Structure 1
């Protein structure tokens, strides 16, 4: 009995509760908890509460506002999803919540969205960089948010060490900001701390001025100072050598890891007493250094400028040189005391404009680079002491037949003698080199020394056409006298008798082999006083391939042997025969040419 009474009581309570809920729903007033919303240009989501006791539907009058859920039954929380703006003006929209019954009752929510201000902003307006890193790590990326097309402005005095890659501002949706990533590349710092302030300026095509920008961030780049190197000291020299080797990424440098004193470093020569030019202040400093087998994609490292006692430097064998187009850079140009310099297989295509500071050079080797032309600055005025110029094998790639070639920029000094179809002839041979006459230079002690280019090596290039004969060049005289060693039994010399042009009489070595040269050998070559020293059948007459006109390379009057030469200079032949006899007898008399 008690159980039946308990069940009855529970049923009555539940019925009462249902009746109460039904009464509550019937009493809910239709509406929303807000009738207006204001939101920023970036857009976002706003929550609203719909109160109702029956079905309803949400309608937006603009496409940039959506409602989720878009319909419902009874009271529900909804999300208004508002897109970002696309203009710089305010825009308005309305969301209407409508009952779906017969009453047609509705509630409106008005949305006001601000427009975007013109702005160029940075997440990170300051960047700190080290003074040094390898080339492939010397960059940083900057993210710029903008709704304006802009130009990057680096101060003129900072462009030597701050550069940037090409970028594209894609404003593909009105004034809605877009993020642009710009890669900045930086250079090694060889001095004190430095900084640069980079601006982002609206382009003229954007029709926006800087004054119209609500925000216009600038980028500040701070670079730390270089590692200190004590100038004009043995310690400074050793630090400079290690730094250069590090920057070059020398493959097999053991200087730092060996633990040896600089006196024992391979490829390094130090000044010692008894050496020519030695003074006490040079003792123990670097006289010569060699850097071999390395990997770099820029000019000679800045630390080279601290090797102020060096007379000879050699940089040879860079990686993938055929792909590179480098300049020496300015720092090597500060070593005006240099006498011998080799920058070979480095990837050079040009010399720095200050290279002429190296007026004391006696030996210059630029072989195995990618030069299309011999730099004009290499002349006797700029280098009055130069004896040896080597620019062999500047072929970036091998082109055997120039007449069947579509490649460009293939080096080999090609630009000098390339065929001009308008003129119907080959270009001009770099003949100023053959006019490099001996000159006198006054030393610091007031002595006069005779100088002049005596070794010229231009082998394995793409020079075409004939060797200049200078017959019509009045600036080059003919021989009017000759030493006795060049005269025949009658006391005559073919140089004077045939009025042969006096071209570089001091030349002791000329190499033009394995070019694409043709035409006749001029008399000044065939009867040059030093021709027999040149090994001409190997290093001069021996050409290869075809020129741009399809002509097989080679000279039309190449001699079969040297008999004609020794007939003209019988004393030379007699001298050679004497040497051969002496050699057979074990005499070390040597050649007396």
Structure 2
């Protein structure tokens, strides 16, 4: 083979090698830049290769899948959501595994999160009424900043948020927080509206901020001042109280049990009151709230009774203001209900003559109960207000046990303002935790000669003795923790023998907070001395046979 032949073969081989090198592609990518929002996500990169390749990054917030391969493939670049409000930069490198000099860099740019407080639903409509456990609504808030809930002053009486916590353990990544709000019944015939705002607890600029608009439907109209309106009010009150047995709507209100209607010939009845509710009794029910708002529509009512609430000893309720809007109300019983306070507007019941608050949980006698606020009241019953029965107050560590305990816990003296309520003819305070002495009232008004001259039964010796509760006929303070001496005004009271004092006055029990055994040091053995003082009185022996 000659030289020319060798040269021709070499050139052909060289051409073949050159042709083969032109077909080899190495590693290539279709994009060298990724831009993504703060929420993060996935981007696909197409890798063209005829060799082995490796993908890598030094940024912990970037993940690559797959991280290596042979030949062409789709590589996923997974970017985490941002943690801060500032943008960040990262990089992904694709390299030929057999030739590290051959590489391609992909820049990754991610925006930071803007501060924002947004709502899934910025507008809520609620009913005017629902049962107690159903008066709530939930709101989902998406946020990356802690916030306070701001409710307008005029709406704070009917919207209250429950406790909540914004957990920002993921930096500025928005978190979804579910807030629960409680709402109150709308007793008005107009819609209520409020705009709730969410205010950041630190100084930031919000890119988005939603407010919550709350609309509450108006109350169903009640034809106030009519018989029909009264019937609707009665049924609504029974519903709100969860009364065990309500009235049959198909029956005439004339036939409803525990309901009395005004009739034309009744004393005090006017033409517009005929057929309306004069008296109603609500009993055996289960509520955790004050007197329902519908009671305010019973404007012709003269007497109302509420008693026997399930588990009443567990509650600390107020009457609410609605019961105080009844101008004709004369007799009111709220017994075994769970009360610990009367609404301040209770003073508006100027016509009230009889008030029974027995069997509740009062720690003290409400300050609103004064002769000035209730000028026509002549009978007050607040017996058996013991939430918990305690025999020895000295050894007790329990608190809030009712029984009017706080009324005498500091002064250790029977409430003087009740003894100065001259118009009272009935005062029942039995079975409570009243402590200390009964005041002697020596600085109070005394009987005068004019009083003796005006009454045949009053002895001359009564002059100068304090004239305490001069109209009282029923006085019951037994089974308290009273101690000390019985004052002269009590032992010489004109009505003492009517009170059955050995049962309803003198008898005390247990020990008071000072460790003293309850009872009086000068309790009389009998009433012989009393009848000697009142020479004109005759002992009424119940066993004596009448002639």
Alignment TM-score, normalising by the size of structure 1: 0.85
Distance 2:501 2:198 in 1: 63
Of 57, 61, 73 in structure 2, the residue corresponding to residue 60 of structure 1 is 57
In the alignment, does 2:395 pair up with 1:397?
Answer: no
Residue 239 of structure 1 aligns to a residue whose secondary structure is helix
Q: Give the structure 1 partner of residue 90 of structure 2.
A: 93
Of 391, 400, 419 in structure 2, the residue corresponding to residue 434 of structure 1 is 419
In the alignment, does 2:297 pair up with 1:306?
Answer: yes
Distance 2:468 2:246 in 1: 45
Distance 2:496 2:79 in 1: 89
Measure how far apart 1:32 and its partner are: 2.0
Distance 1:236 1:509 in 2: 38
Distance 1:253 1:459 in 2: 33
Q: Give the structure 1 partner of residue 530 of structure 2.
A: 565
Residue 526 of structure 2 aligns to a residue whose secondary structure is coil
* 2:413/2:437 contact within 8 Å kept: no
Q: Give the structure 2 partner of residue 5 of structure 1.
A: none
Q: Give the structure 1 partner of residue 13 of structure 2.
A: none
Residue 255 of structure 1 aligns to a residue whose secondary structure is coil
Kindly tell me: are residues 70 and 429 of structure 1, through their superposed partners in 2, closer, same or farther at Cα, counting changes over 3 Å?
farther
Measure how far apart 1:327 and its partner are: 1.1
Distance 1:88 1:248 in 2: 53
Measure how far apart 1:102 and its partner are: 3.8
Kindly tell me: are residues 98 and 409 of structure 1, through their superposed partners in 2, closer, same or farther at Cα, counting changes over 3 Å?
same
Measure how far apart 1:479 and its partner are: 4.5
Distance 1:468 1:255 in 2: 53
Distance 1:175 1:525 in 2: 75
* 2:506/2:519 contact within 8 Å kept: yes
* 1:486/1:493 contact within 8 Å kept: no
Measure how far apart 1:484 and its partner are: 5.4
* 1:151/1:200 contact within 8 Å kept: yes
Distance 2:23 2:54 in 1: 19
Q: Give the structure 1 partner of residue 462 of structure 2.
A: 495
Q: Give the structure 2 partner of residue 221 of structure 1.
A: 214
Q: Give the structure 2 partner of residue 83 of structure 1.
A: 80
Q: Give the structure 1 partner of residue 174 of structure 2.
A: 177
Of 458, 472, 484 in structure 1, the residue corresponding to residue 429 of structure 2 is 458
Q: Give the structure 2 partner of residue 470 of structure 1.
A: 441
Distance 2:180 2:195 in 1: 15
Q: Give the structure 2 partner of residue 325 of structure 1.
A: 316
Distance 1:371 1:24 in 2: 100
Q: Give the structure 2 partner of residue 123 of structure 1.
A: 120
Q: Give the structure 2 partner of residue 251 of structure 1.
A: 244
* 1:116/1:175 contact within 8 Å kept: yes
Q: How many residues align?
A: 525
Kindly tell me: are residues 460 and 479 of structure 1, through their superposed partners in 2, closer, same or farther at Cα, counting changes over 3 Å?
farther
Measure how far apart 1:526 and its partner are: 1.2
Q: Give the structure 2 partner of residue 316 of structure 1.
A: 307
In the alignment, does 2:253 pair up with 1:262?
Answer: yes
Distance 1:502 1:225 in 2: 54
Distance 2:287 2:21 in 1: 83
Of 514, 519, 523 in structure 2, the residue corresponding to residue 554 of structure 1 is 519
Distance 1:387 1:227 in 2: 38
Measure how far apart 1:485 and its partner are: 4.7
Distance 1:175 1:151 in 2: 17
Distance 1:566 1:293 in 2: 46
Measure how far apart 1:418 and its partner are: 1.1
Residue 584 of structure 1 aligns to a residue whose secondary structure is coil
Measure how far apart 1:329 and its partner are: 0.9
Q: RMSD value over aligned CA atoms?
A: 1.9
Q: Which runs of 5+ in 2 are unaligned?
A: 1-19
Q: Give the structure 1 partner of residue 143 of structure 2.
A: 146
In the alignment, does 2:153 pair up with 1:156?
Answer: yes
Q: Give the structure 2 partner of residue 348 of structure 1.
A: 339
Q: Which runs of 5+ in 1 are unaligned?
A: 1-22, 420-425, 438-451, 586-593
Distance 2:30 2:416 in 1: 93
Measure how far apart 1:48 and its partner are: 2.0
CA-to-partner distance for each residue in 1:64-99, whole Å, 9 max, x for gaps?
111122222222222222111111111111111222
* 1:493/1:568 contact within 8 Å kept: no
Q: Give the structure 1 partner of residue 5 of structure 2.
A: none
Kindly tell me: are residues 361 and 72 of structure 1, through their superposed partners in 2, closer, same or farther at Cα, counting changes over 3 Å?
same
Measure how far apart 1:243 and its partner are: 0.6
Distance 1:323 1:183 in 2: 25
Q: Give the structure 2 partner of residue 188 of structure 1.
A: 185
Residue 537 of structure 2 aligns to a residue whose secondary structure is helix
Measure how far apart 1:354 and its partner are: 1.1
Q: Give the structure 2 partner of residue 278 of structure 1.
A: 269
Measure how far apart 1:56 and its partner are: 2.2
Kindly tell me: are residues 41 and 427 of structure 1, through their superposed partners in 2, closer, same or farther at Cα, counting changes over 3 Å?
farther
* 1:242/1:255 contact within 8 Å kept: no
Distance 2:45 2:143 in 1: 32
Q: Give the structure 2 partner of residue 541 of structure 1.
A: 506
Distance 2:271 2:438 in 1: 49
Q: Give the structure 2 partner of residue 238 of structure 1.
A: 231
Distance 1:290 1:100 in 2: 92
CA-to-partner distance for each residue in 1:179-229, whole Å, 9 max, x for gaps?
2221111111122222211111122xx122xxx211110111111121111
Residue 295 of structure 2 aligns to a residue whose secondary structure is helix
